[in-house]
């Protein structure tokens, strides 16, 4: 009996039995705990995945909405700008003015050029948006390079590209800011005069041909100056933004250089040529109207001869206005060259600007000269 009890005790206390008992008594609860832990981890991962997916979807949706809003704003801005240019061309007097409009004249050719270029602002903006995307990608690459090797790639390289890319994406807002820089929130423009007097339609001489030509091309050339100013302003804005990538060692062409600042200023000037000329008129003569309608203080015969004389005087005045506009615009480009440090004279820029403004305002200038010499009762008055 004692021997049998010893065998049973030896069997219970043997290593295989203890190992089995340990597995049943200890490991089984651990397996249940592990299973519970695994289930909890799985649910946590699933919840985190759902949260991350939701956040990514929200971010993508927000970015898509922002891009759609930006594109819509840009499209609306460009469409309104192009429409204003086209409406300027086809004003009340017709494309080409009062003489032979719409019959294949030189004025109509100029109008056709402007109409054919109506899509250029959108093309330039499309290029700016593509450049903005490239800037954004290169900015992220530069940021990665900075994180990996800060001493080799400064953080400013990424920041400058982010700023330039954002500005290119917001090109309509930047152009509007450049315009507001020059004229404020609104302007009262009358840069193409108050009208033309007289008529040479019944004549067939060289003077009548000159009158017909000038009257035909005057308004189209005015619209051409406006279209050129708008397109050149867009290009200069893109150039100014691209200069943000340069360094201070580039001098006037650097991010904060005088040349870069003048690039944005010139863009604003080109966007607001008509309003700026009106401001010059008000500053010089105290009135925003550029008076071009000629009236003889002492009539000759009160009929056809008076009309012929007034038509010739008006055509000369309109020609001088066109020359003045070219000089006025050229003066600001010379001023930018001075800021860039090129071989240009500040005096030449000032002469072009003020000389051009006086040529455009030749009517008010002649009124002032006649008033000075007391000839208002004998000469030609411009109203």
Q: Is the pLDDT of residue 381 over 50?
A: yes
For residue 39 the two structure tokens come to: 């289930």
User: Which pLDDT does position 63 carry in this prediction?
Assistant: 52
The 10s digit of each residue's pLDDT in 256-298 is: 778 888 999 999 999 988 888 888 888 888 888 888 888 887 7
Residue 18 lies in a domain: no
Mean pLDDT of 104-125: 83
Q: Is the pLDDT of residue 90 over 90?
A: no
Residue 119 lies in a domain: no
**Cβ atoms 292, 363 nearer than 8 A:** yes
Closest residue by Cα to residue 254 from 268, 265, 243? 243
Residue 182 lies in a domain: no
Residue 272 lies in a domain: yes
User: Which pLDDT does position 232 carry in this prediction?
Assistant: 92
Range of the domain at 267: 190-382
User: Which pLDDT does position 40 carry in this prediction?
Assistant: 59
User: Which pLDDT does position 8 carry in this prediction?
Assistant: 45
More confident residue, 352 or 53: 352
Number of domains in the chain: 1
User: Which pLDDT does position 86 carry in this prediction?
Assistant: 44
User: Which pLDDT does position 116 carry in this prediction?
Assistant: 83
Q: 357 falls in which pLDDT band (50, 70, 90)?
A: very high
Is the torsion defined by CA of 259, 262, 263, 264 positive or negative?
positive
Q: Is the pLDDT of residue 359 over 60?
A: yes
Q: Is the pLDDT of residue 332 over 90?
A: yes
The 10s digit of each residue's pLDDT in 215-242 is: 888 888 888 898 899 889 999 999 988 8
Residue 100 lies in a domain: no
Q: 5 falls in which pLDDT band (50, 70, 90)?
A: very low
More confident residue, 254 or 368: 368
More confident residue, 50 or 316: 316
User: Which pLDDT does position 252 carry in this prediction?
Assistant: 66
User: Which pLDDT does position 236 carry in this prediction?
Assistant: 92
Give the pTM.
0.70
Residue 168 lies in a domain: no
Instruction: Give the integer Cα–Cα distance in Å for 26 and 6.
Output: 27
Q: Is the pLDDT of residue 135 over 60?
A: yes
Instruction: Give the integer Cα–Cα distance in Å for 223 and 213.
Output: 16
Nearest-Å Rg of the Cα atoms of the chain is 38
User: Which pLDDT does position 222 carry in this prediction?
Assistant: 86
Q: 108 falls in which pLDDT band (50, 70, 90)?
A: confident
Q: Is the pLDDT of residue 17 over 50?
A: no
Residue 218 lies in a domain: yes
Mean pLDDT for the chain? 75
Residue 241 lies in a domain: yes
Q: 91 falls in which pLDDT band (50, 70, 90)?
A: very low
User: Which pLDDT does position 191 carry in this prediction?
Assistant: 57
Q: Which of 48-57, 106-115, 148-157 has the lowest mean pLDDT?
A: 48-57
User: Which pLDDT does position 226 carry in this prediction?
Assistant: 86
């Amino acid at each position: 009996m004692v021997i049998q009890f010893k065998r049973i005790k030896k069997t219970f206390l043997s290593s295989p039995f203890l190992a089995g008992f340990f597995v049943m008594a200890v490991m089984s609860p651990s397996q249940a705990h592990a299973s519970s832990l695994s289930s909890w981890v799985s649910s946590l991962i699933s919840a985190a995945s759902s949260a991350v997916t939701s956040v990514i979807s929200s971010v993508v949706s927000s970015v898509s909405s922002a891009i759609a809003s930006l594109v819509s704003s840009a499209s609306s801005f460009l469409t309104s700008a192009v429409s204003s240019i086209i409406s300027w061309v086809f004003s009340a007097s017709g494309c080409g003015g009062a003489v032979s409009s719409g019959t294949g004249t030189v004025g109509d050719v100029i109008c056709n050029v402007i109409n054919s270029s109506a899509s250029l602002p959108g093309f330039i903006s499309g290029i700016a948006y593509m450049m903005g995307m490239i800037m954004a990608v290169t900015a992220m690459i530069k940021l990665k390079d900075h994180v990996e090797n800060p001493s080799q790639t400064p953080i400013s390289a990424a920041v400058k590209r982010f700023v330039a890319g954002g500005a290119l994406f917001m090109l309509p807002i930047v152009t509007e800011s450049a315009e507001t820089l020059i004229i404020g929130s609104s302007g009262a423009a009358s840069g193409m005069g108050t009208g033309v007097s007289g008529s040479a339609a019944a004549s067939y001489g060289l003077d009548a041909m000159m009158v017909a030509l000038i009257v035909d091309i005057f308004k189209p050339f005015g619209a051409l100056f406006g279209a050129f100013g708008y397109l050149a302003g867009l290009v200069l804005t893109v150039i100014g933004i691209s200069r943000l990538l340069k360094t201070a060692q580039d001098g006037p062409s650097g991010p904060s250089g005088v040349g870069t600042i003048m690039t944005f200023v010139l863009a604003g000037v080109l966007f607001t040529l008509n309003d700026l000329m009106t401001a010059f008129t008000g500053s010089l003569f105290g009135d925003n109207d550029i008076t071009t309608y000629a009236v003889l203080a002492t009539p000759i015969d009160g009929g056809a001869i008076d009309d012929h004389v007034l038509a010739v005087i008006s055509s000369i005045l309109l020609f001088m206005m066109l020359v003045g506009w070219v000089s006025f615009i050229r003066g600001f480009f010379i001023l930018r060259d001075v800021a860039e440090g090129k071989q240009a004279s500040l005096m030449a820029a000032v002469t072009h600007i003020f000389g051009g403004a006086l040529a455009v305002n030749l009517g008010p200038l002649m009124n002032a000269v006649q008033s000075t010499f007391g000839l208002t009762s004998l000469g030609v008055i411009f109203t």
